[in-house]
A = this chain, B = another copy of it.
Amino acid sequence: MKKNSVSPIPLNPTPLKNTSSADTKASGRGGARPGAGRPAGQGQYGEPTKPVRLPVSMIDEVMDYVATGGRQSLPLFSCAVAAGFPSPADDHLEGSLDLNDYLVKHPAATFFVRVSGDSMIKAGIHENDILVVDRSLEPRHGKVIIAALDGQLTVKRLHHKSGKTMLMPENDRYAPIVVSDEASMVIWGVVTNVIHSV
């Protein structure tokens, strides 16, 4: 929690020279007193800090990350029917969610694909949607997959039926594609989520 954002610019670090008369013999002012001193929690972050070693290439990025409050874990509500009376927000709160955590289970094996065409409209996949694709999942029968076919990427539902492999669109205006030569098709990954703009 950031209590205040005091910039580390010195307000007036060098004490002003004594007003007028000369020899200011350093007489004792101030004195021992409890409660003096800079109060805790007044730093940049409003809490204690510790030095940590980081790879130089990531320091800027990490500083950004910290400045923006770390993980973007935002609250998740639900539409479910509330307890019975007009309710405050808490009644709907399900918890909090970080999009990357939720959508990207295998970061090293995940990529995105922007959709063109409407051949999978019945699967809730629209033109310009972004698909979250996981390479590490096995492309089983019935999964929606991304395949490279004739040098083009396509989204289809994978069907294995009586030894034949087919790519099924989910739009009545399109016909299934029978994959005659499996070697000509490369499956890039399994679609796990669709991101659609309203």
Query: A residues engaging B (CB < 8 A)?
Result: 45-59, 61-63, 65-66, 68-72, 74-87, 91-92, 94, 97-100, 102-104, 107, 110-117, 123-126, 130, 144, 148, 150-155, 191-198
Q: List 5 A-B contacts (CB under 8 A).
A: A54-B66, A76-B130, A78-B113, A79-B117, A99-B195
Closest Cβ neighbor of A59 among chain B residues? B52
Are A114 and B76 interface neighbours, CB within 8 A? yes
Indicate how many identical chains form the complex: 2
- Interface SS of chain A: helix, strand, loop or mixed? mixed
Are A62 and B65 interface neighbours, CB within 8 A? yes
State in angstroms the CA–CA spacing of A196 and B111 once bound together: 16
Are B61 and A56 interface neighbours, CB within 8 A? no
- Give the chain B neighbours of A198 by CB distance below 8 A: 123-125, 144, 191-194
Are B66 and A151 interface neighbours, CB within 8 A? no
Are B113 and A77 interface neighbours, CB within 8 A? yes
Are A153 and B77 interface neighbours, CB within 8 A? yes
Closest Cβ neighbor of A55 among chain B residues? B45
Given A74-B107, A77-B111, A77-B112, A50–B54 Cβ distance below 8 Å? yes
